[in-house]
Amino acid sequence: MTKVLIATEKPFAPVAVDGIRKIVEGAGFELVLLEKYTERQQLLDAVKDVDAIIVRSDKIQADVFEAAKNLKIVVRAGAGYDNVDLEAATKHNVCVMNTPGQNSNAVAELAFALMLAMVRNHFNGKSGSELKGKKLGIQGFGHIGRCLAKIAQGFGMEVYYNKRHRLDAAEEKELGLTYCSQEDLFKQCDIVSLNTPKTAETVKSINGKYVKMMPKGGLIVNTARKEIIDEECFLAALKERTDVRYATDIAPDMHEEYQKELQDRYLATAKKMGAQTAEANINAGLAAANQIVGFIKDGCETFRVN
Ligand code: 3PG
């Protein structure tokens, strides 16, 4: 019988697991669950006889593909698939997919939670500032960027964006966006939200230079990946520009130093939690299950990334 494994170090909400089970068992497959695992060996043991795996940010690398002799498909329930070794997957003839857009709203809402916490001084009772009338710059304009733009407009913000391939003029107009270069985004916007995937091109692409470009009291919000920040020079610039603030959903490796040096100009969530909502788990988890059934039963390869 086809066996589907959910391997999530950071588990889905139970309601999402129930939904995945219905889809997988409804297709006549078996569902097995490995949650909150702490040792790599637990993952390697669990994958041994499975045909399909659903993961989140779990690292799926060559060791997994070598251990999983029956594996045909891995679906990353989420957007960023930088946690999956695509080369190793292809070498083992395993299809890799993501579920684009399914958890975007949750991430966008968290970005606003971080913005509000910062502009309201961590809700400590001191006078803060409002988002209304401020300029929001969105760096990387995919599914999350689109959600951010809508929410920002609801707050009465002006929305600027930068992406590799600029939208056409009609779409920009319809969405009420202004395009600018990455540099201008940091120069002109009061708040910049980072929403680029982790790729060879984006790793360490946000460095101290961008901190120094920001207008007085600027805020940078990261709900993407910690690796896109060049941590050392970014911190050095924040130490120079004592008015600029940084909020992130993915604590830097230098978290303790950031905390010590920046104090309340810095905020990091305890654990990456942008997509940690029941709704996002249901959307991404169920999409992953459906994609597996479609692939195994009908050879459907929509959202294949390798
Ligand atoms: C994504 O790439 O989809 C988000 O970063 C969410 O990741 P998570 O599933 O680990 O919360």
4-25 residue pLDDT tens:
999 999 999 999 999 999 999 9
> 12, 20, 107: which to mutate for ligand 1, most atoms within 8 A of CB?
107
224-234: average pLDDT: 98
Mean pLDDT throughout 261-286?
97
Instruction: Indicate whether this complex's ipTM tops 0.95.
Output: yes
**275 C-alpha to center of ligand 1: Å?**
6
**What per-residue confidence (pLDDT) applies to 94?**
98
Could you tell me the distance, in angstroms and rounded to a whole number, from the CA of residue 78 to the centre of ligand 1? Answer: 5
> CATH 3.40.50.720 region(s) of the chain?
3-78+277-298, 104-268
Specify whether domain 3-78+277-298 bears CATH 3.60.15.10: no
Task: Find the mean pLDDT for residues 121-127.
Answer: 97
What separation in Å is there between the alpha carbon of 125 and the centre of ligand 1?
32
- Residues of the chain with pLDDT > 70: what percent? 100
User: Considering only CA atoms, which residue is closest to atom 6 of ligand 1?
Assistant: 275
Atom 11 of ligand 1: nearest residue by CA position? 275
pTM score, whole prediction: 0.96
Taking only the tens place, the pLDDT of each residue in 48-82 is 999 999 999 999 999 999 999 999 999 999 999 99
pLDDT for the residue 122 = 97
Mean of pLDDT values over 162-175: 96
Ligand 1 neighbours (beta carbon < 6 A) = 10, 56-57, 78-80, 103, 272, 274-276
Nearest alpha carbon to residue 220 among 114, 124, 127: 114
79 CA distance to ligand 1 centroid (A)?
6
261 CA to centre of ligand 1 in angstroms: 28
Contact, 33 vs 277, CB < 8 A? no
CA-closest residue to ligand 1 atom 5: 80
pLDDT at 96: 99
pLDDT band at 44 (very low <50, low <70, confident <90, very high): very high
Handedness of CA 74, 78, 83, 86 (dihedral sign): positive
The pLDDT assigned to 299 comes to 98
Q: Whose CA is nearest to atom 2 of ligand 1?
A: 80
Confidence of residue 141 (pLDDT cuts 50, 70, 90): very high
pLDDT of 184: 98
Phi, psi of 298 (to 5 degrees): -120, 0
| Of 114, 107, 53, residue with least CA distance to 83 | 53
CA of 115 to the centre of ligand 1 (A): 19
pLDDT score recorded for residue 229: 98
pLDDT score, position 29: 98
Average pLDDT over residues 130-153: 98
| Average pLDDT along the chain | 98
Contact call for residues 75 and 97 (beta carbons, < 8 A): yes
Mean pLDDT of 282-290: 98
Structure tokens at 294: 């479609």
**What pLDDT band is residue 282 in, cutting at 50, 70 and 90?**
very high
**What mean pLDDT is predicted for residues 155-184?**
97
Topology given in CATH for the domain delimited by 104-268: Rossmann fold (3.40.50)
- Spell out a b/e string for 192-208, using b for 16 or more CB atoms within 10 Å of the CB, else e: bbbbbbbeeebeebbbb
Interior/surface letters 26-42, b for 16+ CB within 10 angstroms, e for the rest: ebebebebbeebeeeee
Residue 303 to residue 226: CA distance in whole angstroms: 25
